[in-house]
Structures are given as C-alpha cells and as structure tokens.
C-alpha cells in the first residue's frame, strides 16, 4: 500500500482528490508552495547536474517552482524535512564555527586573539609595508 502524498516543502498531506494528470499550477493548501516541481517528481535526482534522472527531460533552472515538464510523476516521500534544502542559521554557524557574528563584520572571523599571522600581515611583510597602509616614499 502506498503512503500518503505529502508536500515536498512542509510535509503536510495533500488532499485526496488530486487528479491523475497533475495540474502545473497546483499548490499546497498548507504552505502555498507549487507542487508541479522537480522536487515533487519521482525523477528528481539532486546528485545529477540536471537534477533529473529522466534521460529526455529538459533541465529545469529552478527545482522548487512550477514547471512545464511533461515527464513529471508524483513522488511519495518527497518531503525531506529541510524545507526545500535551505540552510538554517545553525547549519551555517556549524559550518563556519560561528565566528562571523563575534567579529562584528558579517563573513569575517576574529583573528585578534590568534598569534598566527593574517593574510594581510603576510602581504605587508612581503612588500615591506609595516605601517599597514599607504605607499612608502622611496
């Protein structure tokens, strides 16, 4: 027996009266996400560069918006719990050790407590600029 079809984004069960030929503009009643999307198709394969295991399907630019693919077939178990593959702040903090927020600048880690030379220190020593800025008069 097949499991209930659920939305690929929120995991809510889809209504039982879905037509056999799935309409392109069908939406999830719970989260209003498009359902005729690659992520909801049984041929969706993110490990391929085209994100599709069907040999004749055109590659889609976006896997989470409605498309016109005629090879679309509903996939049970499309919901993977990631909300569409978006990374959460915790995932990003774990990836970058959470240093960016502490440094005061987004995307920059704080190396002030570290005794190792920074890339800027290496450049300054290479070009002989110990002052940290400007050209030396020569």
SS3 track for 54-91: CCCCCCCCCCCCCCCCCCCCECCCCCCCCCCCCCCHHH
Judge whether 97 and 107 are in contact, CB under 8 Å: no
Integer Cα distance of 127 and 2 in angstroms: 68
pLDDT grade for 123, boundaries at 50, 70 and 90? confident
pLDDT on residue 53: 93
Two structure tokens written together for 45: 């394969």
- pLDDT tens by residue, 74-119: 888 787 765 545 556 676 677 777 554 554 445 445 545 567 888 8
pTM of the complete model beyond 0.75: no
What pLDDT is recorded for position 20?
67
- Which of the pair, 97 or 5, is modelled with greater confidence? 5
Say what the pLDDT of residue 99 is: 55
Q: Residue 50: pLDDT above 60? A: yes
Measured between alpha carbons, how far is 36 from 67 in angstroms, rounded to an integer? 6
> Would you state the pLDDT for residue 52?
93
């Amino acid at each position: 027996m097949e499991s209930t079809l659920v939305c690929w984004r929120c995991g809510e069960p889809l209504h039982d009266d879905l037509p056999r030929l799935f309409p392109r503009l069908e939406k999830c009643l719970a989260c209003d996400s498009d359902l005729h999307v690659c992520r909801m198709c049984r041929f969706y394969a993110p490990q391929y560069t085209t994100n599709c295991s069907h040999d004749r399907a055109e590659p889609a630019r976006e896997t989470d918006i409605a498309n016109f693919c005629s090879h679309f077939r509903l996939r049970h178990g499309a919901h993977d719990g990631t909300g569409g593959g978006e990374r959460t702040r915790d995932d990003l903090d774990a990836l970058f050790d959470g240093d960016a927020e502490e440094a005061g600048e987004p995307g920059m880690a704080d190396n002030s407590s570290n005794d190792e030379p920074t890339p800027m220190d290496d450049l300054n020593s290479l070009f002989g600029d110990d002052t940290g800025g400007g050209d030396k008069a020569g």
